[in-house]
Amino acid sequence: MMTNVSLIDLSLFLLLIFHFSQNPTADAAGGKWQVLKNVGISAMHMQLLKNDRIILFDRTDFGKSNLSLPNGNCVNNYCTAHSAEFTVQTNAVRPLTVLSDVWCSSGSMAPNGNLIQTGGFNGGERRVRVFQPCTGCDWKEIVDGVNVRRWYATNHVLPDGRHIVGGRRQFNYEFYPKTPSSSSVYSLPPTMPARKIISTLLFFSTPTANLFIFANNRAILSIGVKGAQCPRIGSATGGDPRSYPSTGSAVLLPLKNLTAPSVEAEVLICGGTPKGSYTKATNGTFVGALNTCARIKITDPNPQWVVETMPQARVMGDMILLPDATVLLINGASSGAAGWELGRNPVLSPVVYRPNNAVGSRFEQQNPTTIPRMYHSTALLVRDGRVLVGGSNPHDKYEFGNNVLFSTELRLEAFSPQYLDAKYADLRPTIIAPLNQAKIRYGIKLAVQFSLTGTLATNSVYLTMVAPPFSSHSFSMNQRLLVLGAENVRQVGPTTYQAQVTTPPSGNLAPSGFYILYVVHQQIPSEGIFVQILLNLPENPRRQPKVGRMACVVKTMPQARVMGDMRLLTNCSASNSNGAAVVTAGWEFNITRQCCPVTVTRKQPLSRIQDYLTAQSFKSISP
């Protein structure tokens, strides 16, 4: 046994050495830019769908766009489109018809691959719009699909496949689709800073299915817990805000070691503006943006922000998770604030952030573009590993020409990170099996075959899986990347190889739906394939009945527990080894959480069954 352990240690050690000596991307900054296409509208919002089409849209009250509606149609006397479908492989553009105003709205992809887009402005603020990815499909609008006005809203997909929607000027959240037990609007805790300041919410779901919410200059850990609040992000930066209009960007860093008893999760928030910048900018003074990032391990019992310095200040940037499990900071400006005409000094160079490097050697500046991407610009990863950038319109209409400061930008552009350089062609794997669009399940062993023209470095292979996010206002809603590692990497043909991975254990780590799967070899990712993680189904329906809308296994207990009228205990941890959860229909634990150890103080009856999210937030509590 001892021998085995030391052998493993030794191979890890060798693996580390190997990484250092073989790391091909360790040399100087790189990356290439290419203008792709004038798509006729300004890409204020973008989402990649499972068929490699990007749905993009701006706002219907922008005036005339440069793209006609299909078949000579007009909507409310406007005959130009404000939404389009862009095909990644061909750069083809197809105009779409959106009927109500989608300005500053939110979105997320449902488990079946439909884009669920929520809210907007004026007549569009309570709409839900559904876009099904299929040939010739167009938007379908649901009137009053959300209960209250959703403008500058944020979405996140939950482990059970529902979407949570919340955000600016609404101190509450709600769910889509509605269920009998979660049809209302739920208040945010009174300490949530969004109550005081106009601000967008940033959502991150943790491996224990809590939601980490950030707004302005601070965070709370779970919206299921009343009054919970973690340290202000400003503890080391003077309380400076980081969400709209002091727009920074943020990501949940890659989730690793997914089979460990408890998976760690970290959030990284970068850029923003010093307090008061928005007001100063409206008055003509464009204050330098923040040049710091703050990183926090949200699964720690007592999480602390760690502040790092970026190569340059950035407001209105975007943060994109790349297939090799690094983070790209792209777009934005170095002074002013988000809002009409308020940004100055575009930041043209992206920066790669390497989360696993030591502090001080994580940022690496990349080659610059020539196109400023100011307010209302977006960025997203596509399957081949490029990052597509669109939008930028800091004006309240389309404005073009040399006399316009930051002309409305209709061009899509691609940034190809250095891993796409031709000199790495021999290292780049090509996935052979499974095929694009494969369906997979939670917690299974999956064999992935790939080919390689060069020589395989067996210890330098890992797989990653990225959820394609909805990008708008410098935040990629629902963005997450899982590092799946690679077991049993071996040669199976002259130039073909196989690696085995264990798929994520549950929807807490990876809500069901479409992900892009990559094989990474010596830090060079393959082109990805789409895989669909299916909702958990019981292997033996008689022994493990599936109950209701929850994505977890429900068991009948061997004995009843004393809690009034309760007869069933629902065990949501059955598919996840993270501690015990006891969720009782009709009862709620009254718990208090102080950043963030949890104590159960007492139990009290509730008039209705709490929604799934609230129930899930008890996961870390011992009964």
Ligand X SMILES: *[C@@H]1O[C@H](CO)[C@@H](O)[C@H](O)[C@H]1NC(C)=O
Q: Residues in the site for ligand X, rule: CB under 6 A?
A: 38, 66, 256-257, 260, 279-280, 283, 400, 410, 571, 573-574, 580, 582, 590, 592, 601-602, 604
The alpha carbon of residue 321 and the mean position of all alpha carbons in its chain are separated, in whole angstroms, by 8
| Min separation Cβ 282 and ligand X, Å | 8
| Min separation Cβ 423 and ligand X, Å | 27
| Min separation Cβ 407 and ligand X, Å | 8
- Of 216, 341, 217, which Cα lies nearest the Cα of 286? 341
CB atoms within 10 A of CB 204: 22
| Min separation Cβ 305 and ligand X, Å | 20
Identify which of residues 14 and 492 has a Cβ nearer to ligand X in the complex.
14
Q: How far is it, in rounded angstroms, from Cα 577 to Cα 572?
A: 10
Q: How far is it, in rounded angstroms, from Cα 120 to Cα 594?
A: 35
332-358 core/surface letters (b: 16 or more CB in 10 A; e: else): bbbbbbbbeebbbbbbbbbbbbbbeee
Identify which of residues 170 and 407 has a Cβ nearer to ligand X in the complex.
407
| Min separation Cβ 528 and ligand X, Å | 20
Q: How far is it, in rounded angstroms, from Cα 534 to Cα 551?
A: 10
Residue 435, helix vs strand vs coil: coil
Q: How far is it, in rounded angstroms, from Cα 388 to Cα 48?
A: 10
Identify which of residues 488 and 590 has a Cβ nearer to ligand X in the complex.
590
- State the residue for tokens 């959300």: 146
Identify which of residues 91 and 601 has a Cβ nearer to ligand X in the complex.
601
Backbone phi, then psi, for 488, in 5-degree steps? 55, 50
Q: Is-contact 252 477, C-beta < 8 A?
A: no
Q: How far is it, in rounded angstroms, from Cα 155 to Cα 487?
A: 34
| Min separation Cβ 51 and ligand X, Å | 25
| Min separation Cβ 109 and ligand X, Å | 27
Identify which of residues 167 and 274 has a Cβ nearer to ligand X in the complex.
274
DSSP letter (8 states) at residue 355? T
Cis omega (within 30 of 0) for bond into 434 = yes
Q: How far is it, in rounded angstroms, from Cα 234 to Cα 294?
A: 9
Identify which of residues 74 and 404 has a Cβ nearer to ligand X in the complex.
404
Which H/E stretch holds residue 12?
helix 2-22
Cis omega (within 30 of 0) for bond into 159 = no
Identify which of residues 183 and 257 has a Cβ nearer to ligand X in the complex.
257
| Min separation Cβ 5 and ligand X, Å | 12
Identify which of residues 70 and 493 has a Cβ nearer to ligand X in the complex.
70
How many alpha carbons fall within 13 Å on the CB side of residue 64? 5
| Min separation Cβ 283 and ligand X, Å | 4
The alpha carbon of residue 385 and the mean position of all alpha carbons in its chain are separated, in whole angstroms, by 16
Identify which of residues 94 and 178 has a Cβ nearer to ligand X in the complex.
94
| Min separation Cβ 456 and ligand X, Å | 21
Identify which of residues 111 and 241 has a Cβ nearer to ligand X in the complex.
241
| Min separation Cβ 557 and ligand X, Å | 6
Burial class (CB in 10 A: 0-12, 13-18, 19+), 563: middle
DSSP character string of 300-346? SSS--EEEEE-SS--BS-EEEE-TTS-EEEE--EEEE-SSTT-EEEE
Identify which of residues 35 and 425 has a Cβ nearer to ligand X in the complex.
35
